[in-house]
Structure 1
Amino acid sequence: MKAPFFKTLAITAVAGLTLAACATATPYQPAGFNGERGGYAEQRLENDRYRVSFSGNSLTSREQVEMSLLLRSAELTAESGYDWFATVNRATDRDTRFVGSPDPFYSRYNSFYGPYWGPSWRYYRGGFWRPFDPWGPNDFDVRQVDRYEASAEIVMGRGPKPAGDPNAFDAREVIQNLGPRVTRPMP
Protein backbone atom coordinates (compact mmCIF):
# COMPACT_ATOMS: atom_id res chain seq x y z
CA MET A 1 0.00 0.00 0.00
CA LYS A 2 2.86 2.37 0.76
CA ALA A 3 4.82 1.63 -2.45
CA PRO A 4 2.27 3.25 -4.84
CA PHE A 5 2.13 6.37 -2.64
CA PHE A 6 5.92 6.80 -2.61
CA LYS A 7 6.14 6.03 -6.33
CA THR A 8 3.53 8.72 -7.02
CA LEU A 9 5.38 11.11 -4.71
CA ALA A 10 8.70 10.49 -6.51
CA ILE A 11 7.14 10.96 -9.96
CA THR A 12 5.46 14.18 -8.84
CA ALA A 13 8.74 15.52 -7.41
CA VAL A 14 10.66 14.76 -10.62
CA ALA A 15 7.93 16.33 -12.76
CA GLY A 16 7.91 19.44 -10.56
CA LEU A 17 11.69 19.83 -10.79
CA THR A 18 11.58 19.37 -14.56
CA LEU A 19 8.92 22.04 -14.92
CA ALA A 20 10.79 24.41 -12.62
CA ALA A 21 13.92 24.04 -14.75
CA CYS A 22 11.93 24.96 -17.87
CA ALA A 23 10.31 27.97 -16.25
CA THR A 24 12.65 30.72 -17.43
CA ALA A 25 12.29 33.91 -19.41
CA THR A 26 12.54 33.70 -23.20
CA PRO A 27 16.24 33.78 -24.08
CA TYR A 28 17.73 36.10 -26.69
CA GLN A 29 17.72 33.84 -29.75
CA PRO A 30 15.91 33.47 -33.08
CA ALA A 31 12.20 32.70 -32.85
CA GLY A 32 11.53 28.97 -33.03
CA PHE A 33 15.09 28.04 -32.01
CA ASN A 34 15.19 24.83 -29.90
CA GLY A 35 11.40 24.68 -30.07
CA GLU A 36 11.03 27.97 -28.19
CA ARG A 37 7.90 29.88 -29.04
CA GLY A 38 9.40 33.35 -28.53
CA GLY A 39 12.57 35.10 -29.64
CA TYR A 40 13.53 37.61 -32.30
CA ALA A 41 12.58 37.76 -35.97
CA GLU A 42 13.32 40.18 -38.76
CA GLN A 43 12.16 40.86 -42.28
CA ARG A 44 14.15 42.87 -44.80
CA LEU A 45 11.98 45.54 -46.44
CA GLU A 46 14.65 47.46 -48.41
CA ASN A 47 18.46 47.49 -48.43
CA ASP A 48 18.55 49.80 -45.41
CA ARG A 49 15.15 49.05 -43.84
CA TYR A 50 13.97 46.12 -41.68
CA ARG A 51 10.98 45.13 -39.59
CA VAL A 52 12.26 43.61 -36.32
CA SER A 53 10.29 41.92 -33.52
CA PHE A 54 10.89 40.12 -30.25
CA SER A 55 8.28 37.99 -28.50
CA GLY A 56 8.61 36.83 -24.89
CA ASN A 57 6.85 34.27 -22.74
CA SER A 58 4.91 35.00 -19.55
CA LEU A 59 8.16 35.15 -17.52
CA THR A 60 9.81 37.74 -19.80
CA SER A 61 9.37 41.32 -18.59
CA ARG A 62 8.41 44.18 -20.86
CA GLU A 63 11.81 45.76 -20.27
CA GLN A 64 13.60 42.54 -21.36
CA VAL A 65 11.47 42.31 -24.52
CA GLU A 66 12.17 45.93 -25.49
CA MET A 67 15.92 45.59 -24.74
CA SER A 68 16.08 42.48 -26.92
CA LEU A 69 14.34 44.31 -29.77
CA LEU A 70 16.86 47.17 -29.62
CA LEU A 71 19.80 44.76 -29.38
CA ARG A 72 18.65 42.78 -32.43
CA SER A 73 18.16 46.04 -34.36
CA ALA A 74 21.72 47.10 -33.47
CA GLU A 75 23.16 43.71 -34.45
CA LEU A 76 21.37 43.80 -37.82
CA THR A 77 22.71 47.30 -38.40
CA ALA A 78 26.32 46.29 -37.68
CA GLU A 79 26.01 43.03 -39.68
CA SER A 80 24.73 45.01 -42.68
CA GLY A 81 27.71 47.40 -42.58
CA TYR A 82 25.85 50.42 -41.17
CA ASP A 83 26.72 52.57 -38.15
CA TRP A 84 23.37 53.72 -36.74
CA PHE A 85 19.67 52.94 -36.95
CA ALA A 86 16.51 54.92 -36.33
CA THR A 87 13.12 53.53 -35.36
CA VAL A 88 10.44 54.71 -37.78
CA ASN A 89 7.65 53.21 -35.72
CA ARG A 90 7.83 51.11 -32.59
CA ALA A 91 5.19 49.35 -30.52
CA THR A 92 4.94 46.96 -27.60
CA ASP A 93 1.84 44.79 -27.32
CA ARG A 94 0.68 43.06 -24.16
CA ASP A 95 -1.40 39.87 -24.30
CA THR A 96 -3.20 39.33 -20.99
CA ARG A 97 -4.95 36.12 -19.95
CA PHE A 98 -6.49 35.08 -16.67
CA VAL A 99 -5.78 31.49 -15.70
CA GLY A 100 -7.82 29.68 -13.05
CA SER A 101 -6.78 26.56 -11.23
CA PRO A 102 -8.65 24.65 -8.56
CA ASP A 103 -7.37 24.88 -5.00
CA PRO A 104 -5.74 21.47 -4.36
CA PHE A 105 -6.10 21.63 -0.58
CA TYR A 106 -9.91 21.47 -0.52
CA SER A 107 -10.60 19.24 -3.48
CA ARG A 108 -12.15 15.91 -2.63
CA TYR A 109 -10.98 14.64 -6.00
CA ASN A 110 -7.32 15.61 -5.69
CA SER A 111 -5.27 13.23 -7.84
CA PHE A 112 -2.20 13.45 -5.59
CA TYR A 113 -3.92 12.55 -2.32
CA GLY A 114 -6.64 10.42 -3.81
CA PRO A 115 -10.41 10.81 -3.66
CA TYR A 116 -12.17 12.40 -0.73
CA TRP A 117 -9.14 14.02 0.85
CA GLY A 118 -9.83 17.23 2.71
CA PRO A 119 -12.51 18.49 5.04
CA SER A 120 -15.98 17.26 4.31
CA TRP A 121 -19.41 17.10 5.86
CA ARG A 122 -22.39 15.06 4.86
CA TYR A 123 -26.13 15.37 5.21
CA TYR A 124 -28.95 12.89 4.68
CA ARG A 125 -31.49 13.73 1.99
CA GLY A 126 -33.70 11.64 -0.23
CA GLY A 127 -32.46 8.34 1.17
CA PHE A 128 -28.77 9.12 0.46
CA TRP A 129 -25.88 10.67 2.30
CA ARG A 130 -24.69 13.67 0.23
CA PRO A 131 -21.45 15.65 0.53
CA PHE A 132 -21.64 19.21 1.77
CA ASP A 133 -18.75 21.58 1.08
CA PRO A 134 -18.91 24.97 2.84
CA TRP A 135 -16.20 26.35 0.48
CA GLY A 136 -18.28 25.53 -2.56
CA PRO A 137 -17.52 23.20 -5.44
CA ASN A 138 -15.71 25.89 -7.46
CA ASP A 139 -12.86 27.06 -5.24
CA PHE A 140 -10.38 28.54 -7.77
CA ASP A 141 -7.17 30.54 -7.65
CA VAL A 142 -6.98 33.05 -10.52
CA ARG A 143 -3.79 34.70 -11.72
CA GLN A 144 -3.01 37.17 -14.47
CA VAL A 145 -0.57 36.07 -17.18
CA ASP A 146 1.02 38.76 -19.39
CA ARG A 147 3.09 38.20 -22.53
CA TYR A 148 4.84 41.03 -24.37
CA GLU A 149 5.84 41.43 -28.01
CA ALA A 150 7.78 44.46 -29.27
CA SER A 151 8.16 45.37 -32.93
CA ALA A 152 9.80 48.20 -34.85
CA GLU A 153 10.55 49.27 -38.36
CA ILE A 154 14.12 50.53 -38.54
CA VAL A 155 16.11 52.55 -41.08
CA MET A 156 19.91 52.19 -41.09
CA GLY A 157 22.56 54.77 -41.94
CA ARG A 158 26.33 55.28 -42.19
CA GLY A 159 28.47 57.85 -40.41
CA PRO A 160 27.55 59.62 -37.19
CA LYS A 161 23.95 59.24 -36.05
CA PRO A 162 21.67 62.23 -36.74
CA ALA A 163 22.04 64.79 -33.95
CA GLY A 164 18.91 65.63 -32.00
CA ASP A 165 16.91 62.61 -33.22
CA PRO A 166 15.68 60.73 -30.11
CA ASN A 167 14.77 57.70 -32.28
CA ALA A 168 18.34 57.29 -33.65
CA PHE A 169 20.79 54.89 -31.97
CA ASP A 170 24.50 54.20 -32.42
CA ALA A 171 24.55 50.45 -33.17
CA ARG A 172 27.88 49.67 -31.50
CA GLU A 173 26.95 51.53 -28.31
CA VAL A 174 23.65 49.65 -28.08
CA ILE A 175 25.44 46.31 -28.52
CA GLN A 176 28.01 47.28 -25.87
CA ASN A 177 25.41 48.50 -23.36
CA LEU A 178 22.56 46.01 -23.85
CA GLY A 179 24.44 42.87 -24.92
CA PRO A 180 25.44 41.85 -21.38
CA ARG A 181 21.96 42.60 -19.98
CA VAL A 182 19.80 40.24 -22.06
CA THR A 183 19.09 36.64 -21.09
CA ARG A 184 21.10 34.27 -23.29
CA PRO A 185 20.12 30.65 -24.02
CA MET A 186 21.52 28.01 -21.68
CA PRO A 187 24.23 25.83 -23.29
Structure 2
Amino acid sequence: MTLSIKSLVVVAASALTLAACATSTAYAPAGFNGQRGGYAEQRLENDRYRVSFSGNSVTSREQVEMGLLLRAAELTRESGYDWFSTVNRATDRNTRYQSSGFNDPFFNRYSPFWGPSWRYYGPRGWSRWNDPFWGHNDFDVRQIDRYEATTEIIMGRGAKPSGDANAFDAREVIVNIGANVTRPM
Protein backbone atom coordinates (compact mmCIF):
# COMPACT_ATOMS: atom_id res chain seq x y z
CA MET A 1 0.00 0.00 0.00
CA THR A 2 1.41 3.37 -0.95
CA LEU A 3 0.43 6.70 0.52
CA SER A 4 0.53 9.95 -1.36
CA ILE A 5 2.62 12.85 -0.13
CA LYS A 6 -0.56 14.71 0.77
CA SER A 7 -1.72 11.77 2.92
CA LEU A 8 1.64 11.61 4.68
CA VAL A 9 1.49 15.34 5.45
CA VAL A 10 -2.01 14.98 6.89
CA VAL A 11 -0.93 12.02 9.05
CA ALA A 12 2.17 13.87 10.28
CA ALA A 13 0.17 17.01 11.10
CA SER A 14 -2.39 14.94 13.00
CA ALA A 15 0.35 13.20 14.99
CA LEU A 16 1.94 16.54 15.90
CA THR A 17 -1.42 17.94 16.97
CA LEU A 18 -2.08 14.95 19.21
CA ALA A 19 1.43 15.14 20.65
CA ALA A 20 0.95 18.82 21.46
CA CYS A 21 -2.26 18.03 23.33
CA ALA A 22 -0.51 15.46 25.51
CA THR A 23 2.35 17.63 26.78
CA SER A 24 2.52 19.64 29.96
CA THR A 25 2.39 23.42 29.93
CA ALA A 26 5.68 24.90 28.79
CA TYR A 27 7.47 27.51 30.90
CA ALA A 28 6.43 30.56 28.89
CA PRO A 29 4.11 33.56 29.23
CA ALA A 30 0.42 32.68 29.55
CA GLY A 31 -1.10 32.11 26.12
CA PHE A 32 2.29 31.71 24.38
CA ASN A 33 1.68 30.03 20.99
CA GLY A 34 -1.92 29.40 22.02
CA GLN A 35 -1.01 27.14 24.94
CA ARG A 36 -3.34 26.90 27.89
CA GLY A 37 -1.52 28.15 30.97
CA GLY A 38 1.89 29.63 31.61
CA TYR A 39 3.16 32.44 33.82
CA ALA A 40 1.87 35.96 34.38
CA GLU A 41 2.86 38.80 36.67
CA GLN A 42 1.55 42.16 37.78
CA ARG A 43 3.67 44.89 39.34
CA LEU A 44 2.15 46.13 42.61
CA GLU A 45 4.97 48.38 43.88
CA ASN A 46 8.61 48.95 42.86
CA ASP A 47 9.76 45.88 44.81
CA ARG A 48 6.51 43.88 44.91
CA TYR A 49 4.77 41.72 42.27
CA ARG A 50 1.89 39.27 42.06
CA VAL A 51 3.09 36.19 40.14
CA SER A 52 1.07 33.21 38.89
CA PHE A 53 1.65 30.03 36.92
CA SER A 54 -1.14 27.79 35.65
CA GLY A 55 -0.87 24.41 34.00
CA ASN A 56 -3.01 22.27 31.73
CA SER A 57 -4.53 18.89 32.62
CA VAL A 58 -1.23 17.00 32.27
CA THR A 59 0.91 19.48 34.23
CA SER A 60 1.60 18.24 37.76
CA ARG A 61 1.27 20.36 40.86
CA GLU A 62 5.04 20.15 41.34
CA GLN A 63 5.68 21.49 37.81
CA VAL A 64 3.27 24.38 38.39
CA GLU A 65 4.92 25.32 41.68
CA MET A 66 8.41 25.11 40.12
CA GLY A 67 7.25 27.38 37.29
CA LEU A 68 5.95 29.90 39.83
CA LEU A 69 9.20 29.98 41.79
CA LEU A 70 11.33 30.17 38.64
CA ARG A 71 9.31 33.11 37.29
CA ALA A 72 9.58 34.88 40.66
CA ALA A 73 13.37 34.37 40.64
CA GLU A 74 13.77 35.57 37.04
CA LEU A 75 11.58 38.61 37.72
CA THR A 76 13.69 39.40 40.79
CA ARG A 77 16.93 39.30 38.78
CA GLU A 78 15.40 41.27 35.86
CA SER A 79 14.36 43.99 38.34
CA GLY A 80 17.90 44.27 39.76
CA TYR A 81 17.28 42.49 43.07
CA ASP A 82 19.05 39.52 44.68
CA TRP A 83 16.38 37.71 46.72
CA PHE A 84 12.63 37.50 47.06
CA SER A 85 10.23 36.48 49.79
CA THR A 86 6.83 34.93 49.06
CA VAL A 87 3.67 36.30 50.68
CA ASN A 88 0.26 34.60 50.51
CA ARG A 89 1.49 31.68 48.40
CA ALA A 90 -1.26 29.27 47.33
CA THR A 91 -1.83 26.46 44.86
CA ASP A 92 -5.40 25.85 43.69
CA ARG A 93 -6.69 22.67 42.09
CA ASN A 94 -9.55 22.77 39.59
CA THR A 95 -11.08 19.30 39.24
CA ARG A 96 -13.57 18.10 36.67
CA TYR A 97 -14.82 14.63 35.84
CA GLN A 98 -15.24 13.09 32.41
CA SER A 99 -17.27 9.97 31.81
CA SER A 100 -17.22 7.57 28.90
CA GLY A 101 -18.95 4.36 27.93
CA PHE A 102 -22.50 5.51 28.58
CA ASN A 103 -24.16 5.40 25.16
CA ASP A 104 -27.12 7.76 25.36
CA PRO A 105 -26.05 11.36 24.56
CA PHE A 106 -29.06 12.86 26.41
CA PHE A 107 -28.30 11.08 29.66
CA ASN A 108 -24.54 11.50 29.20
CA ARG A 109 -24.94 15.26 28.97
CA TYR A 110 -27.32 15.77 31.88
CA SER A 111 -26.41 13.00 34.30
CA PRO A 112 -23.75 10.41 33.46
CA PHE A 113 -24.59 8.43 36.59
CA TRP A 114 -28.25 7.84 35.79
CA GLY A 115 -29.71 4.99 33.79
CA PRO A 116 -33.26 3.79 33.35
CA SER A 117 -34.55 1.15 35.71
CA TRP A 118 -37.96 -0.16 36.58
CA ARG A 119 -39.36 -1.82 39.63
CA TYR A 120 -41.82 -4.67 39.62
CA TYR A 121 -43.63 -6.65 42.26
CA GLY A 122 -42.70 -10.32 42.29
CA PRO A 123 -42.84 -13.29 44.66
CA ARG A 124 -40.14 -11.70 46.87
CA GLY A 125 -41.67 -8.21 46.87
CA TRP A 126 -40.47 -5.20 44.95
CA SER A 127 -37.45 -5.84 42.76
CA ARG A 128 -35.40 -3.72 40.41
CA TRP A 129 -35.12 -4.59 36.72
CA ASN A 130 -32.62 -2.82 34.45
CA ASP A 131 -33.19 -2.33 30.76
CA PRO A 132 -31.43 -5.28 29.03
CA PHE A 133 -30.57 -3.09 26.03
CA TRP A 134 -28.45 -0.81 28.19
CA GLY A 135 -26.36 -3.66 29.57
CA HIS A 136 -25.08 -2.93 33.01
CA ASN A 137 -24.67 0.78 32.37
CA ASP A 138 -20.90 0.37 32.44
CA PHE A 139 -18.97 3.57 32.19
CA ASP A 140 -15.62 4.99 33.24
CA VAL A 141 -15.09 8.22 35.10
CA ARG A 142 -11.78 10.05 34.80
CA GLN A 143 -10.70 12.81 37.16
CA ILE A 144 -8.96 15.73 35.44
CA ASP A 145 -7.01 18.18 37.60
CA ARG A 146 -5.55 21.56 36.64
CA TYR A 147 -3.34 23.51 39.03
CA GLU A 148 -2.67 27.21 39.38
CA ALA A 149 -0.15 28.65 41.84
CA THR A 150 -0.10 32.30 42.87
CA THR A 151 1.97 34.42 45.22
CA GLU A 152 3.00 37.94 45.96
CA ILE A 153 6.73 38.51 46.18
CA ILE A 154 8.74 41.19 47.92
CA MET A 155 12.23 41.65 46.47
CA GLY A 156 15.39 42.78 48.20
CA ARG A 157 19.10 43.41 47.65
CA GLY A 158 22.07 41.83 49.37
CA ALA A 159 21.91 38.60 51.37
CA LYS A 160 18.49 37.04 51.84
CA PRO A 161 17.05 37.28 55.37
CA SER A 162 18.39 34.28 57.30
CA GLY A 163 15.35 33.65 59.50
CA ASP A 164 12.70 33.87 56.76
CA ALA A 165 11.64 30.41 55.51
CA ASN A 166 9.78 32.10 52.63
CA ALA A 167 12.88 33.95 51.36
CA PHE A 168 14.76 32.63 48.32
CA ASP A 169 18.09 33.56 46.71
CA ALA A 170 17.03 34.30 43.12
CA ARG A 171 20.30 33.07 41.55
CA GLU A 172 20.13 29.73 43.37
CA VAL A 173 16.51 29.18 42.38
CA ILE A 174 17.34 29.82 38.70
CA VAL A 175 20.29 27.42 38.82
CA ASN A 176 18.44 24.67 40.73
CA ILE A 177 15.04 24.84 39.03
CA GLY A 178 15.81 26.30 35.60
CA ALA A 179 16.91 23.00 34.05
CA ASN A 180 13.89 21.11 35.42
CA VAL A 181 11.08 23.03 33.72
CA THR A 182 9.62 22.23 30.32
CA ARG A 183 10.64 24.92 27.81
CA PRO A 184 8.71 25.76 24.63
CA MET A 185 9.83 23.95 21.49
Q: Does TM, scored on the shorter chain, surpass 0.5? A: yes
- Which ranges in structure 2 are unaligned for 5 or more consecutive residues? 1-9, 105-130
Structure 2 match to 1:18: 17
Q: Among the aligned pairs, what percent are the same residue?
A: 74
| Structure-to-structure mapping, 1:1-187, within 5 angstroms | 15=14, 18-102=17-101, 132-133=132-133, 135-136=135-136, 138-186=137-185
TM-score by length of 1: 0.74
How many angstroms does 1:175 deviate by? 0.2
Q: Which string of whole-angstrom CA distances, capped at 9 and with x for unpartnered residues, describes residues 52-100 of structure 1?
A: 0000001000000000000000000000000000001100000010111
The CA distance in 1 between the partners of 2:12 and 2:143, in whole Å, is 26
How many angstroms does 1:18 deviate by? 3.4
CA pair 68-102 structure 1, distance change in 2 beyond 3 A = same
Cα RMSD (Å): 2.5
The CA distance in 2 between the partners of 1:160 and 1:14, in whole Å, is 51
Kindly provide the amino acid, as one letter, of the partner of residue 53 in structure 1. S
The CA distance in 2 between the partners of 1:67 and 1:90, in whole Å, is 13
- Which ranges in structure 1 are unaligned for 5 or more consecutive residues? 1-10, 109-130
How many angstroms does 1:140 deviate by? 2.1
How many angstroms does 1:19 deviate by? 1.7
Runs of 4+ displaced beyond 3 Å: 11-18
The CA distance in 1 between the partners of 2:13 and 2:73, in whole Å, is 41
The CA distance in 2 between the partners of 1:16 and 1:153, in whole Å, is 40
TM-score by length of 2: 0.74
Kindly provide the amino acid, as one letter, of the partner of residue 133 in structure 2. D
How many angstroms does 1:36 deviate by? 1.1
Kindly provide the amino acid, as one letter, of the partner of residue 170 in structure 1. D
CA pair 141-71 structure 1, distance change in 2 beyond 3 A = same
